Chain A
Amino acid sequence: MARVEIKIGGFGGQGVILSGYIVGRAASIYDNKHSTMIQAFGPEARGSACSAQVIVSAEPIAYPYIVSPEIMIVMSQEAYTKFTPELASGGVLITEEELVQPHNLRKDVKHFSIPATRFAEELGKKLVVNIVMMGFLTAVTNVVGKKAMGQAVLASVPKGTEELNVKAFEKGYEYGVEVMAGGVPA
């Protein structure tokens, strides 16, 4: 597998950085790949917008920053506007259905969306929105295997919240599988 660059953007409190951490951890600890994660630090991290960059690769990673992400998850309108121009042509764009209006959607990318916040609320805790997203990402891309992602989720969430998070992950994953099968208009 060649180098895959992933960017995750949203606002504070959505667990953007943790999402990046989970993807990287899944790839490098549980999926025998290499991964480098860098969180946007600095003025960018101080306001409401935040982002994480993750690289996943079968080979050791030299250059640690992303150059042209092939996968992008955006969970806020601001992140959509700011980051989507960076997405590589032919890349995968995943948006949070209710928080992001895909204005002027690029024709050269594959777009998927999921009402992750609503799913999280239905599960009883809005906080797990990022974990729903992780399930969805796993289903619509093959960047990391499902087993590895599941393990990384379990290892990364606070003790005592495992069950809820596993449910959130499964929910996102099932929805992703449905979307891929054409069951849900993307």
Chain B
Amino acid sequence: MKADPKGVLTGSHFLDGDHSCSEGAIAAGCRFVAGYPITPSTEVVERIASRFPYVGGMFIQMEDEIASSIAIQGAVWGGKKAMTVTSGPGFSLMMEHIGLAAMTETPCVFVDVQRAGPSTGLPTQPAQGDMMQARWGSHGDYGIIALSPNSPQECFDLTIKAFNLSEQYRVPVMFMMDECVGHMTERVVIPPADQIEIVPRKFYEGPKADYLPYKTNGDLVPMMVKAGDGYNIHVTGLTHDERGYPSMTVPTQEKLIPRLVNKIKHNAPKIVEYVEDQVDGAEVVVVTFGITSRTSIPAIEQARKEGMKVGHLRLVVVWPFPEERIRELASRVRAFVVPELNLGQMVLEVERCVAGKARVELVGHPGGTVHNPKDIYNVIKKSAKG
């Protein structure tokens, strides 16, 4: 399906990442946004608030992030595509509802424009400290998808992708921006609507009597209906059977929860996305995501100039993590260097996959600003020497 041209501002714009994310959401067909103001994410909802009256959307500033993160789920069951937008402290408040969305398989998008924490931290300065929280923040076992854009252009493109993935797999998708990308202004090219691919919601169309809300057909993802369609659906955060009814038994738990995990795990080869640059034949591979993918480039170029064989693997989809690719590379490269604006989160995933077959070096930074490329360069150089 193609995007609805009504919402698409086709053309070249000079936009910051936050505003571009809003445009991506509109192009993706999002017509319900609930949020609560928090720096550095507020510009996303501000633009939504000014644009929605002209595209038939509903924006509501809720009383807090807890309310925002569940209002969007009500809206999804009412038939909308919906997202909420926040930053660290608000993201923490949303955790229970990430679990609810995962459990009830409610497709929706959570935007987190990361700032330095913990707690109130540095409200106006960047970090990438919520990466593990995005994956594991709600209690219990479940799967999610997370994307990490590195430019305003990607804030547009990947917001659309986030909505598409959420529909395809019926999962909450975390859109992990950071203050630097959110407040950076660059050229954003918005293509014509007929060049924007939209994944529509998979609505059940068979006979009413046969409908089982949580029954799947091979691909681990059940078909949806919405409130008011006459199916008398029941949706609950309790462990439920295929009818959607609470069934608090071990067999039901054993059937449902692995499916919620496996629909992402087993589809990971289709979901993962990364960009490689000179990884084949590299001795050192720098693994980056979001803004660190850009601050690493001067370091990588300098090292290459000096003759080091340095590859760059940038995660576009951060969760699920490209386990297979890292495992494959681990047996061939000397070291992985992982710069991140936190004191060691995604590096744990790299270590897990490398499993001792190569060195893994973190270039950590507690956030507040971005890395000085020199610091990344120094670790590359040290790692190249072995």
Are chains A and B touching directly in their complex (CB below 8 angstroms)? yes
> B14: CB under 8 A from chain A?
yes
Known: A63-B298, A64-B291, A64-B294. A35 touches B124 (CB 8 A): no
> B232: CB under 8 A from chain A?
no
> A14: CB under 8 A from chain B?
no
Asked whether A37 lies within 8 Å of B184 as measured between CB atoms, the reply is: yes
- Within A124-178, the residues touching B (CB, 8 Å) are none
Q: Which of A35, A42, A63 contacts B186 (CB 8 A)?
A: A35
Known: A37-B185, A64-B291, A65-B370. A28 touches B14 (CB 8 A): yes
Asked whether B298 lies within 8 Å of A62 as measured between CB atoms, the reply is: yes
- Within B180-211, the residues touching A (CB, 8 Å) are 180, 183-187
Q: Which of A28, A62, A64 contacts B184 (CB 8 A)?
A: A64
- Binary contact readout A30-64 vs B (1 if CB under 8 angstroms, 0 otherwise): 00001111110111010000000000000001111
> A105: CB under 8 A from chain B?
no
Q: Give the distance to chain B from A167, nearest Cβ to Cβ, in Å.
A: 23
Asked whether B184 lies within 8 Å of A38 as measured between CB atoms, the reply is: yes
With most chain A CB atoms within 10 A of its CB, the pick from B13, B40, B183 is B183
Q: Give the distance to chain A from B372, nearest Cβ to Cβ, in Å.
A: 9
> A24: CB under 8 A from chain B?
yes
Asked whether A41 lies within 8 Å of B124 as measured between CB atoms, the reply is: yes
How far is it, in angstroms, between the C-alpha of A36 and the C-alpha of B298 when the chains are bound? 16
Asked whether A63 lies within 8 Å of B185 as measured between CB atoms, the reply is: no
Asked whether B298 lies within 8 Å of A24 as measured between CB atoms, the reply is: no
Known: A63-B373, A64-B291, A65-B370. A38 touches B297 (CB 8 A): no
How far is it, in angstroms, between the C-alpha of A29 and the C-alpha of B11 when the chains are bound? 10
Q: Across the two chains, which residue of chain A brings its CB closest to B125?
A: A42
Q: Give the distance to chain A from B312, nearest Cβ to Cβ, in Å.
A: 11
> A21: CB under 8 A from chain B?
yes
How far is it, in angstroms, between the C-alpha of A117 and the C-alpha of B294 when the chains are bound? 38
How far is it, in angstroms, between the C-alpha of A36 and the C-alpha of B186 when the chains are bound? 5
Q: Across the two chains, which residue of chain B brings its CB closest to A54?
A: B185
Q: Across the two chains, which residue of chain B brings its CB closest to A30?
A: B12
Q: Give the distance to chain A from B368, nearest Cβ to Cβ, in Å.
A: 10
How far is it, in angstroms, between the C-alpha of A42 and the C-alpha of B295 when the chains are bound? 21
- Chain A residues positioned under 8 Å from B369 (CB to CB): 65
Asked whether B183 lies within 8 Å of A62 as measured between CB atoms, the reply is: no
Q: Across the two chains, which residue of chain B brings its CB closest to A45?
A: B124
Asked whether A35 lies within 8 Å of B187 as measured between CB atoms, the reply is: yes
How far is it, in angstroms, between the C-alpha of A24 and the C-alpha of B12 when the chains are bound? 13
- Chain B residues positioned under 8 Å from A28 (CB to CB): 12, 14, 186-187
- Chain A residues positioned under 8 Å from B122 (CB to CB): 42
> A25: CB under 8 A from chain B?
yes
Q: Which of B40, B295, B297, B298 contacts A41 (CB 8 A)?
A: B40
Asked whether B14 lies within 8 Å of A39 as measured between CB atoms, the reply is: no
Asked whether B294 lies within 8 Å of A34 as measured between CB atoms, the reply is: no
Asked whether B187 lies within 8 Å of A34 as measured between CB atoms, the reply is: yes
With most chain A CB atoms within 10 A of its CB, the pick from B125, B185, B373 is B185
- Chain A residues positioned under 8 Å from B40 (CB to CB): 41
How far is it, in angstroms, between the C-alpha of A21 and the C-alpha of B15 when the chains are bound? 9
- Chain B residues positioned under 8 Å from A24 (CB to CB): 14, 185-186
Q: Which of A25, A38, A45 contacts B14 (CB 8 A)?
A: A25
Q: With contacts A24-B185, A28-B14, A62-B297 known, what are 20 further pairs, Cβ within 8 A? A: A24-B14, A28-B187, A29-B14, A29-B187, A34-B186, A34-B187, A35-B14, A35-B186, A36-B185, A38-B180, A38-B183, A38-B184, A39-B183, A42-B122, A42-B123, A42-B124, A42-B125, A62-B294, A63-B370, A64-B295
A interface with B by C-beta (< 8 Å) = 21, 24-25, 28-29, 34-39, 41-43, 45, 61-65
Q: Top 4 A-B pairs ranked by shortest CB distance?
A: A62-B297, A42-B124, A25-B14, A28-B187
B interface with A by C-beta (< 8 Å) = 12-14, 40, 122-125, 179-180, 183-187, 291, 294-295, 297-298, 369-370, 373
11 contacts between A and B (CB under 8 A): A24-B186, A35-B187, A36-B184, A38-B185, A61-B294, A62-B297, A63-B298, A64-B180, A64-B291, A64-B294, A64-B295
